[in-house]
Amino acid sequence: MGVFSGDLPRCGRMTSFRLHAHQRGQAAVEAALTMPLAVFLVLGTLQLFMMLQARLMAEHAAFVAARAGALSQGRCERMLHASLLAVLPTFDRTDRPALVAEAFGARRMNRFSPARDGQRNGPILWIFRDLSNRDTVPRGRDDAGFDNPDRRPLSRLEVELVFWYPLRIPFANWVIAHMTLAAWGLGDFRAMNPLMPAVTANWTDEGPPRGVRQAVLDEFRYRTRSGQYVFPIQATAAMRMMTPAMRRRGFFQQAHCGGP
């Protein structure tokens, strides 16, 4: 017959109780040490997958911006509105027509809405545009020969889009923004290391990536330090002009739409 715990001597019961209490205390300490890492991995992974979706939508937005510009003589407003509608699903609800209209109406000026986007209030999109044959177009005139098949090169609208994607996952937004600052050489990151909570991080200047404009780096540093956690996602597209590029009204006097 087995021996019940109630049949144990008093000293044995006390020893068993202390052993179980010690194990529970050790488990609590281990959970406290690993919890920050587990939370960071879960939240960071979720935020990275959302950024991947935003990357795909930014590429689509660059395409629709180029198409809208090619069909509208390079008008900034139409390019911005077309690309804004393309990226709205990444940070607001657009599953019903009424919600699309509401989300677009709050940001139709290409700026984040403080009522819907927290502290963010800057531009959502920057669009840099250029013509492949800019030097062949008479200064101050429209590109009347844009559709001449004998002309080389043909008029092509080239678009570089910067989507200031809002990082929306708490804690992960702060970590990713400051890690990127350090990786791009915009500031050192010496706070607590989320991968090793007992160690202070020392992520320092590694230099900015190729092809990123200085204006984008400066804007990213400013927004991060002001608590507006966004990430610049860049995409490019090009399309042959289907309407003449109009210069008389100043549509190409500035190369950017909604930019710095």
The pTM of the full predicted model, rounded to 2 decimals, is 0.77
The pLDDT tens digits for 129-169 are 887 766 555 555 566 666 666 665 667 889 999 999 999 98
pLDDT-based confidence at residue 4 (cuts at 50, 70, 90): very low
Rounded Cα–Cα distance for residues 61 and 87 (Å):
7
Domain for residue 244, yes or no? yes
Domain for residue 5, yes or no? no
CB–CB of 226/98 below 8 Å?
no
Q: Using alpha carbons, select from 126, 59, 77, 71 the residue that is nearest to residue 240.
A: 71
Predicted pLDDT of residue 8: 46
* C-alpha 135: how far from chain center: 34
pLDDT-based confidence at residue 201 (cuts at 50, 70, 90): low
Range of the domain at 112: 36-257
Rounded Cα–Cα distance for residues 26 and 35 (Å):
14
Predicted pLDDT of residue 1: 46
Predicted pLDDT of residue 118: 86
Read off the pLDDT of each residue in 37-43 and give the average, rounded to a whole number.
80
Q: Which of 80-94, 97-111, 189-203 has the lowest mean pLDDT?
A: 189-203
Predicted pLDDT of residue 178: 84
Sign of the C-alpha dihedral computed for residues 169, 84, 132 and 217 taken in this order: negative
Tokens describing residue 64 = 């629709």
Amino acid occupying residue 254: Q
Total of domains in the chain: 1
* Exposure string for 228-245, b = 16+ CB within 10 A, e = fewer: bbbbbbbbebebebebbb
pLDDT-based confidence at residue 244 (cuts at 50, 70, 90): confident
List all residues 6 or more positions away from 229 whose beta carbon is below 8 Å from its beta carbon: 166, 167, 173, 174, 176, 177, 223
Read off the pLDDT of each residue in 11-39 and give the average, rounded to a whole number.
62
Domain for residue 19, yes or no? no
Domain for residue 30, yes or no? no
Domain for residue 118, yes or no? yes
